Amino acid sequence: MTDVPEIPVRVRPEIAALPPYKQGKQAGSDAFKLSSNENPFDPLPGVLEAVRSASALNRYPDATAARLRERLAARFGVPSEQVHIGAGSVSILAQLVLATSGPGDEVIFAWRSFEAYPWLAVLAGATPVMVPLAEGARHDLQAMADAVNDRTRAVIVCTPNNPTGPIVTQAEFDAFVERVPSDVLVILDEAYAEFVTDPTSVDGIRVLGNAGHQNVVVLRTFSKAYGLAGLRVGYAIGHPRILDAARSASIPLSVTAQAEVAALASLDAEAELLERVSVIARRRDALVAALRDLGWAIPDAQGNFVWFPLGEETLAVAERFERAGLIVRPFAGDGIRVSVGEEESVEKVLGIAASVVQDLP
């Protein structure tokens, strides 16, 4: 880095200590980008057309994205007060953490999981409490419930878990929520819900129908299954009071009109988009089966990505993927997450995995 002179402006020490957000590497023209769990399909023409004809750029968007809220409410059979739209589900996650948790409070989540969780807790001034994953890289919901105490304000459950892949089952989640006090917010992060094929999986929307679960809020996104990562639009479904608090903690007008109409057009084309999702899910299942046949201990994969548990070999193996034109996401000392992308990229992943497995200790 170039030498930037110090200036006396005071930055909160916990913010100054945060590492900058590290995006998955951008791919060169001949490489496959498998580092951000994006959708490999091009946008549908109808979605592109909707974006082109969205309202004028000199006008502000509708602050609550009311049309999209109503549409999602109808889609899930809930009142529109139970739907909240954000500029990506990560921004709603930030709002929920800010709304519930501050200095002295604790935010519990599994680890390893989505990297934004510890970062958002620290941003809010709260203390992240990371509960190690259990056998099979699954959430240990018993240990997470054990970790709840008087300081706990929020618990985040990620299913399927990014980056390791397994789901939380309905039975596990129900038992967990029973044990969490009703004044603690439970955030069920279902960013990859549409890719799930395991019938035992928790279904956040069904959970919300249960009166005993009013402290649960479900997060979903148009970034993954619907292929709109670049436009930034996600949503939360939950109790209106929780969503009011999220709104109060939000930066107004951050969901663009373009994002809203693209999401609406995606819901119009949902059958076609979900057909693409099942193509990816089948590709994923075939990849996992082939990798296991090769001897890899791949955990259950229910999102649009697979997890290679590589420990200390992680960075060296990531380099081998990269040399072969596959940009993957390494987590040093732990493992590599590889998105399920184009058919050709999956074949290449398998080829590298076959040669690497022979060289592992």
Instruction: Report the interface residues with ligand PMP, using CB under 6 A.
Output: 37, 88-90, 114, 158, 162, 189, 191, 221, 223, 229, 234
Longest dimension (CA), the chain: 60
Those residues whose C-beta lies under 8 Å from the C-beta of residue 108, and which sit 6 or more positions away, are: 129, 131, 144, 147, 148, 152, 154, 155, 156
Interatomic CA distance for residues 119 and 122, integer angstroms: 5
Whichever of 223 and 250 has its CB closer to ligand PMP, that residue is: 223
How far apart are CB 182 and ligand PMP at their closest, in Å?
24
| Total residues belonging to the chain | 361
When the beta carbons of 336 and 352 are compared against ligand PMP, the nearer one is 336
Beta carbon of residue 100, minimum distance to ligand PMP (angstroms, whole number): 17
Calpha distance 36→329 (Å, rounded): 7
Q: What is the DSSP string of 29-54?
A: TTSEE-SS----SPPPHHHHHHHHTS
Nearer to ligand PMP, 32 or 313 (CB): 32
- Choice between 192 and 308, CB closer to ligand PMP: 192
Nearest distance from C-beta of residue 10 to ligand PMP, angstroms: 30
Query: Closer to ligand PMP at the Cβ: 189 or 313?
Result: 189
Which SS3 state, helix, strand or coil, does residue 140 take?
coil
Least distance between ligand PMP and beta carbon 323 (Å):
25
| Least distance in angstroms from the C-beta of 113 to ligand PMP | 7
> Residue 327 is encoded by which pair of tokens?
């940009």
Closest CA to 236 of 111, 78, 61, 108: 78
Q: Which position's Cβ is nearest ligand PMP?
A: 88
